[in-house]
Structure 1
Amino acid sequence: MTIVKSILIFLLAGICEIGGGYLVWLWLKEDKPFWYGILGAVILTFYGAVATWQTNSFGRVYAAYGGIFIALSLLWAWKFDGFKPDRYDIIGALIALIGVCIIFYAPRSIQQ
């Protein structure tokens, strides 16, 4: 799998998880209509399938996805929730993304 394709899958998974979770949050915490929760649940279910499109092992995919999730969550909150990340949020997200690159994209021998 190419790096670009795997990054796109990670981004789609993140958007589905964060977007679906955000809709459920709005329904339960912000008194939005019930259909927000239903749509959020459907999107969260789709997220579970999207993650399986990665060709690596479950543990490595989900470990790397955690770093992607951190960065995307901060971007989502900034764009949709009025949260402004500070320099420590940004530094932490960058460290997490460096971890993603090491975990998921570092060259490994075939004998693993």
Structure 2
Amino acid sequence: MLKTALLFIITALAEILGCWLFYAWLRLEKSIWLLIPSLFSLVLFAYLLTLHPQASGRIYASYGGIYIAISLLWLRYVDSIPLQTSDWLGALICLGGASVIIMGSSQS
């Protein structure tokens, strides 16, 4: 389960970074050259999702909970926006749901 969680964290960071770099170019008027690492990061994200042996729908469902939690950490530490109590509670609920899905898939 630890290996799966670490893989999900790396996958989420690749996805968030790829999207953020595209956003920086398009909305923050940063250099168009940011599209190159953005593309690389999003390709890495897609590749990382293929490393799981389980059915893709279950993987995407459990990944969603991890993605939400990592996105909130990105919001806090990269965008420097303080999190609210509801953010922390929502992340805990999502992580709990993702854990149930992950543990259930290991029993099949």
- SS, match of residue 55 in structure 1: coil
C-alpha deviation, 1:38, in angstroms? 2.0
Q: Which residue of 1 aligns with 2:46?
A: 48
Maintained 8 Å contact 2:54/2:105: no
CA contact (8 A) 2:22 2:35 kept: yes
> What's the secondary structure of 1:30's corresponding residue?
coil
Aligned residue number for residue 10 of structure 1: 8
Cα 1:38–1:99 change in 2 (3 A) is same
Q: Corresponding residue for 1:29?
A: 27
Per the alignment, in what secondary structure is the counterpart of residue 26 of structure 1? helix
Q: 1:91 to 1:44 in 2, by over 3 A?
A: same
Matched position secondary structure for 2:21: helix
Which one of 76, 79, 83 corresponds to residue 77 of structure 2? 79
Task: Flag structure 2 segments of 5+ consecutive residues without an equivalent.
Answer: none
The 5 Å alignment of 1:58-73 reads: 58-73=56-71
Quote the offset at 1:39 in angstroms.
Answer: 1.1
CA-atom RMSD in angstroms: 1.3
Q: State the SS of the aligned residue for 2:50.
A: helix
Q: Provide closer, same or farther for how the CA distance between residues 47 and 109 of structure 1 changes in structure 2, counting only shifts above 3 A.
A: closer
Distance 1:8 1:106 in 2: 18
Equivalent pairs: percent with the same residue? 34
